[in-house]
A = this chain, B = another copy of it.
Amino acid sequence: MSDYPVSPRNRIKRVGKRGSYDRATVHAILDSALMCHVAYVLDGQPYCTPTIHWREGETLYWHGSSASRMLRAQEQGARVCLTVSHLDGLVLARSGFNHSVNYRSAMVFGTAHLVEDPAEQERALLAITQRFYPGRNEELRPMTTQEIKATTVIAMGIEEAAAKIRAANVGDDEEDGHLPVWAGVIPVSTVIGTPQPSPVLPKHTPLPAHLAAYEPGRRLDAALQETQAIYEKG
């Protein structure tokens, strides 16, 4: 895959060695997360709204209530910046200045638009369940017309994007290396816990095979990358 084009909008300005325009790198960061933050402008005011996203090739989707302020503001072709960030560690240095964090982030720029075609909208709504829980749709009751009407789907082609990654131990100044205060990385990760069944679940309803990726104790980013790969295989 080629790199994303670079413009003043997505050019990495600071610490260039951490930056990348590589599509596979950007995709992996996006696919490893369930939630993103979407920045958009409404009457000159910026908003930063968390939402669930999913990706098909070079298109990102998000959705919500048809009454949502964010979605109504975006459906007419709003400029959007969608960002996904993973915190991977706290980096403690021998100087305040060299403290940092390990992270993986992707910023994506594009123009949001409403998915208007009813067939395309229904396909997108099926995709969100299928992408996170491949095979689950076959076990669910069908969507109702009212549910489809109540939901707005936004799509955005990725025009430009940039990834930024810090994945290293501490970068102390050489002359600080002898100072006798602990320095290093405290890793952090987002992990899956033990499933909590619905209180109205018929007794002995087993955990289905389509949830196998979400094994308790596993990293969520790994599970999400795995389900995306299964989804892409179809």
Contact = CB atoms under 8 A, between A and B. Distances in A.
A177 interface: yes
A83 B50 contact: yes
Number of copies: 2
Interface string A121-137: 00001101100110011
A55 B19 CA distance: 28
A46 B46 contact: yes
A189 B82 CA distance: 23
A25 to B, nearest CB: 16
B214 A90 contact: yes
B34 A41 contact: no
Contacts of A107: 47-49
Q: Which of A40, A128, A200 has the most CB of B within 10 A?
A: A200
A208 B182 contact: yes
Contact of A14 (B37, B65, B136): B65
Contact of A46 (B65, B79, B169): B79
Interface string A71-104: 0000000011111010101101011110101010
Interface residues on chain A, size class: 35 or more
B95 A141 contact: yes
Nearest to A88: B193
A159 to B, nearest CB: 11
A227 B140 CA distance: 44
A17 to B, nearest CB: 14
B198 A181 contact: no
B190 A87 contact: yes
B185 A195 contact: yes
A75 to B, nearest CB: 15
Contacts of A128: 96, 99
A166 B185 CA distance: 32
A41 B38 contact: no
A112 B140 CA distance: 47
Contacts of A82: 48
Given A95-B147, A96-B137, A96-B147, 7 more contacts: A14-B64, A45-B79, A95-B140, A97-B147, A186-B193, A189-B190, A189-B193
Q: Which 4 A-B pairs have the closest CB atoms?
A: A39-B48, A187-B193, A39-B39, A37-B37
